[in-house]
Amino acid sequence: MQTNSVSSNTTEEASKHLPASGIPNYLGKYRVESVLGEGGMGVVYKGYDADIARTVAIKTVRRSLLEGQAGQELLKRFRREVRAEGRMLHNNIVTVYEFGLDEQSAPFFVMEYIEGRSLKEYLTMGTKFELDKAISIIKQVLAALDYSHKLGVIHRDIKPANIMLLENNTVKLADFGIALVDDTESTQTGLLMGTPQYMSPEQCAGGMIDSRSDLYSVGLVLYELITGVKAFSNIGPENISRKLRGQLPTKPNVTQPETLKLFEKVILKSLAKLPNDRFQTAQDFLESIENISEKPSSSFSNGPSWKKKFAWILGGNLVGIIIVIALSLYFYPSKPDHLMLNTARQKTMDTTGNQPLANLSEAQKNKINRLFKIANSHLLVGRLVAPSGSNAYYTYGLILKTDPGNTKAQEGIANVQNHLLTRSRKLMSNGELQQVAMQLEVALMLFPNHPGFRQLQNEIDAAW
């Protein structure tokens, strides 16, 4: 009786947070378990991917926002940008796994599920951030933006609500390229895409923006962390002239010399009206902070060799890449792919060494068929070895874990190798050595004896 009472109360409490229409049982292949949050743009659900036993977050977009030509343009933009986000793998960026449409053709996004609170929640509770903590948070945000900007992805909505802080003090930047209309701080759809209190002057004016607009927003967040108040608290869609004039926030009412120096040397520069007067890159911003705090960040260290330069390139996303590799090698605990495949062929032969074993259940066969659809889709759109847990390499590995002798899955991993090598050589021919180095590091850990990747490594060594 006690158990039933608790279950009933839990259900009743959860129902208070449900949208009026209730929640769907499934969105695509994902089982919907609960509501994580609800806002003007849509609902965020906690979901579960049974194929690979993974909890995810699913963000939906309200159908009312998709009406008319403007709605269709919004849908196209979401498709393009989620595809770009899906290629990003960084320890300080919430990974986007998939874009899909529900039965009524409304879009939804499947993302990494994380347990933490946004900076907005902390600030709303009146949390006071020590200077060191604020600097640590901003450094991680800048590491994420340095990575995304190099991939040509501009966030456009940097604000405390989109910066998640985990219990271990890791920062996760969320909602890349998506203007989230989630509360009274946000703009009305169709007028501006972003949040006026954290937008740059050029973004408020509806002009062309680049990565320096994101850095302006980071300056505003940093100001709020060290002061506890918004730099422009009265800025709204109907009152943005103050920011357009380039008016600066008031000087913090503090006596700590380091805080005042941070405001004068870093924050004011980041909030310059003209983009050319701001920090030009996230790295420049970070280095300026380090000069103030005198605590160098290992994410942007310099060195004479190409390997040290590569460490500089990876920065904060090295942990993310290690996660991908660890997840992949979980299925191949002692041998790289090509060696594991040969071993798998031997294990699937009977005592005569001629015939493969055929002892899969119907459930296993159905699971493999589903996984092939997923793996082939990943391969088609270029999700070769990233993001973690949602890529072609990982999914073909799931098939081989169930059926080690599956030749189609073996061919799939060979195709991953070929596609990855082709992509890397294309980047090389375009002179994008940094991106080649990043892909090559992962490729050589997964396929250490592949002659094509070895040759490319020699070319990178010579280029550096």
Active-site annotation, residues: 157
Rounded distance between C-alpha atoms, residue 372 and residue 362, angstroms: 15
User: Strand pairing of 107-112 and 96-101?
Assistant: antiparallel
**Cis status, amide bond into 252, omega within 30 of 0:** no
Using the structure block, give the residue that is written with the tokens 């640590």.
Answer: 136
Rounded distance between C-alpha atoms, residue 325 and residue 38, angstroms: 34
Terminal-to-terminal C-alpha distance of the chain:
70
Neighbours of 432 (CB within 10 A): 15
Phi-psi region of 43 (alpha: psi -120 to 50; beta: other; left: phi over 0): beta
Rounded to 5 degrees, φ, ψ at 264 are -75, -40
Phi-psi region of 326 (alpha: psi -120 to 50; beta: other; left: phi over 0): alpha
- Assigned token pair, 295: 């605590």
Rounded distance between C-alpha atoms, residue 230 and residue 224, angstroms: 5
Rounded distance between C-alpha atoms, residue 158 and residue 367, angstroms: 40
* Rg of the Cα atoms in the chain: 24
Neighbours of 408 (CB within 10 A): 13
Cα dist. 294→84, 117, 191 in Å?
35, 28, 42
Element (H, E) at 419: helix 407-429
